[in-house]
């Protein structure tokens, strides 16, 4: 019985870690529910078919994870692009109207509520621009991380007794580590709490730390 | 949506219902399930239920339950009618025989 719960607990912990590859909004909303569902699946699988059941469950869950992660990241990217388009339209409308609503407030509103609305619009516009910048920076860094992963694979290949496939897996793990550390909001928040002044500093510190790890491990091993 | 047609269910309940009704041919994983739930919530086809059915298990009480909305039920009905009409056409053209033992046996 103790062994059952240990295997299930370890599986649940591994799954909870794998969930980190989902986009942060999706993870925050459904991560706990997904872990709960996985726990029930794992308990059932172990009770019915023991280790064979667990192996089948992991095969099913890994295939599901790969396909749904790709879908969610594409949907997230689509939503970002939609926001970009909206921000551009918003900016163009503002330019074309010459900020008419700033000079000619609606007569039905008093001047206070009108200026509040302008402020809200301004903040929304700025927020969108920041998100666009974040998206482009993210895409740029993700591409860079993939490149670093390829380089890491080459470094791994210099370790004696390591096959080509193992080196590639090392490179892939390095890429995933970099992407997760960059995109993971809770990791950035942790760094922010530790005294890093800005969100982009936190992301950069995480990414640089991961790059250092990627190069230190194979170098020490060699 | 069919899994929620008769009662409200939590994530694992939906998963089991889909597996049962498809005789094990369709097996949803947590990622696919919650991806679909997210899209259906956004489209207003399902909603989170405030009620928690009486259950012995604490996990069942803590889990989030989902149910069909009025719009979701209407769309599910319309889609079922459309599929039933297609099946009738296929039967008229002798592509399938609904009384055949293999089909009756699987029900």
In what order do the strands lie in the sheet containing B46-49?
Answer: B9-10, B65-68, B46-49
| pLDDT value for A218 | 63
**A124 vs chain B: nearest CA distance in angstroms?**
22
In chain B, the largest separation of any two C-alpha atoms, in whole Å, equals: 52
- Nearest-CA residue of chain B relative to A66? B31
In tens, the pLDDT along B3-24 reads 899 989 999 999 999 988 888 8
The mean pLDDT value for A62-84 works out to 80
- Asked if B34's CB is within 8 angstroms of A34's CB, the reply is yes
In tens, the pLDDT along B66-98 reads 999 999 999 999 999 999 999 999 999 988 887
Helix, strand, coil percent values for chain B (each to nearest 5): 55, 10, 35
Q: Does A64 lie at the interface with B, CB-CB under 8 angstroms?
A: yes
| pLDDT value for A102 | 44
pLDDT tops 70 at residue A10: yes
Give the mutation candidate from B11, B29, B49 for the A interface (greatest A CB count, under 10 A).
B29
Q: Does A30 lie at the interface with B, CB-CB under 8 angstroms?
A: yes
Count helices and strands in chain B by DSSP H and E runs? 5, 3
Say what the pTM is.
0.58
How many CB atoms sit inside 10 A of residue A207's CB?
A: 19
| pLDDT value for B76 | 92
Residue A38 has its nearest CB partner, among B28, B30, B32, at B30
Between A7 and B63, the higher pLDDT residue: A7
Question: Quick one: how far is CA A91 from the chain centroid?
Answer: 28
Number of Cα atoms under 13 Å in the Cβ half of residue A219: 7
pLDDT tops 70 at residue A187: no
- Asked if B30's CB is within 8 angstroms of A64's CB, the reply is yes
Which of A28-37, A141-150, B91-100 shows the lowest per-residue confidence on average (mean pLDDT)?
Answer: A141-150
Look up residue A219 and give its two tokens.
């170098």
Q: CB-based burial of residue A215 (10 Å sphere; 0-12 exposed, 13-18 middle, 19+ buried)?
A: middle
Task: Convert A152-165 to b/e letters by CB count within 10 Å (16 or more is b).
Answer: bbebbbebeebeee
In tens, the pLDDT along B24-65 reads 888 889 999 999 999 999 999 999 987 666 555 555 556 789
pLDDT tops 50 at residue A195: yes
- Nearest-CA residue of chain B relative to A72? B35
Which of A54-68, A197-211, B62-76 shows the lowest per-residue confidence on average (mean pLDDT)?
Answer: A197-211
3-class secondary structure per residue, chain A: CHHHHHHHHHHHHHHHHHHHHCCHHHHHHHHHHHHHHHHHHHHHHHHHHHHHHHHHHHHHHHHHHHHHHHHHHHHHHHHHHHHHHHHHHHHHHHHHHCCHHHHCCCCCCCHHHHHHHHHHHHHHHHHHHHHHHHHHHHHHHHHHHHHHHHHHHHHHCCCCCCCHHHHHHHHHHHHHHHHHHHHCHHHHHHHHHCCCCCHHHHHHHHHHHHHHHHHHHHHHHC
ipTM of the complex: 0.81
Mean pLDDT, rounded, of chain A: 73
B90 three-class SS: helix
Q: For a pLDDT cut of 90, what percent of chain A falls above it?
A: 9
User: Where in the sequence is the domain holding B82, given as residue range(s)?
Assistant: 2-106
pLDDT tops 90 at residue A185: no
> Chain A contacts of B31, Cβ < 8 Å?
22, 34, 64-65, 67-69, 72
| pLDDT value for A111 | 53
- Asked if B63's CB is within 8 angstroms of A36's CB, the reply is yes
The mean pLDDT value for A192-203 works out to 68
Which of A16-20, A198-202, B37-41 reaches the highest mean pLDDT? Answer: B37-41
Q: CB-based burial of residue A137 (10 Å sphere; 0-12 exposed, 13-18 middle, 19+ buried)?
A: middle
Task: Name the strand (E) or helix (H) holding B27.
Answer: none
| pLDDT value for A49 | 84
Label residue A107 by pLDDT band (50, 70, 90).
Answer: very low
- Asked if B64's CB is within 8 angstroms of A34's CB, the reply is no
How many CB atoms sit inside 10 A of residue A103's CB?
A: 7
Q: How many domains does chain B have?
A: 1
Q: CB-based burial of residue A19 (10 Å sphere; 0-12 exposed, 13-18 middle, 19+ buried)?
A: buried
**B28 vs chain A: nearest CA distance in angstroms?**
8
Closest C-alpha to A87, from A119, A140, A123: A123
Give me the helix-helix angle, A24-97 and B30-42, nearest 10°: 30
Between A130 and A9, the higher pLDDT residue: A9
Residue B32 has its nearest CB partner, among A22, A33, A67, at A67
CA dihedral B50, B55, B61, B66 (to 10 degrees): -50
């Amino acid at each position: 019985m103790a062994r059952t719960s240990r295997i299930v607990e370890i599986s649940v912990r591994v799954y909870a870690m794998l969930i980190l590859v989902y986009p942060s909004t999706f993870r925050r909303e459904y991560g706990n529910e997904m872990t709960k569902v996985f726990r029930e699946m794992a308990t059932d699988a172990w009770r019915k078919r023991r280790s064979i059941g667990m192996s089948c469950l992991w095969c099913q869950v890994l295939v599901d994870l790969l396909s749904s992660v790709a879908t969610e990241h594409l949907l997230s990217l689509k939503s970002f692009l939609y926001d970009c388009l909206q921000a551009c339209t918003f900016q163009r409308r503002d330019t074309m109207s010459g900020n008419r609503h700033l000079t000619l407030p609606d007569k039905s509103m008093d001047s206070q509520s009108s200026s509040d609305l302008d402020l809200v619009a301004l903040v929304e516009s700025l927020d969108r621009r920041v998100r666009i910048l974040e998206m482009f920076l993210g895409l740029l860094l993700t591409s860079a991380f993939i490149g670093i992963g390829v380089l890491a694979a080459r470094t791994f290949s210099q370790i004696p007794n390591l096959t080509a496939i193992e080196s590639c897996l090392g490179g892939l793990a390095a890429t995933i580590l970099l992407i997760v550390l960059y995109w993971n909001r809770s990791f950035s928040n942790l760094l922010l709490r530790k005294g890093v002044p800005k969100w982009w500093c936190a992301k950069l510190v995480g990414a640089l730390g991961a790059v250092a790890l990627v190069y230190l491990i194979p170098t020490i091993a060699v | 949506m069919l899994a929620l047609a008769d009662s409200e269910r939590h994530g694992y309940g939906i998963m089991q219902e889909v597996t049962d009704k498809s005789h094990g041919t369709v097996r949803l994983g947590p990622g696919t399930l919650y991806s679909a739930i997210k899209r259906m919530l956004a489209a207003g086809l399902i909603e989170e239920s405030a009620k928690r059915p009486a259950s012995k298990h604490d996990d069942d009480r803590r889990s989030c339950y989902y149910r069909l909305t009025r719009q979701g039920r209407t769309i599910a009905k319309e889609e079922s009618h459309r599929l039933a009409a297609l099946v009738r056409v296929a039967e008229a053209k002798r592509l399938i025989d609904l009384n055949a033992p293999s089909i009756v046996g699987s029900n």
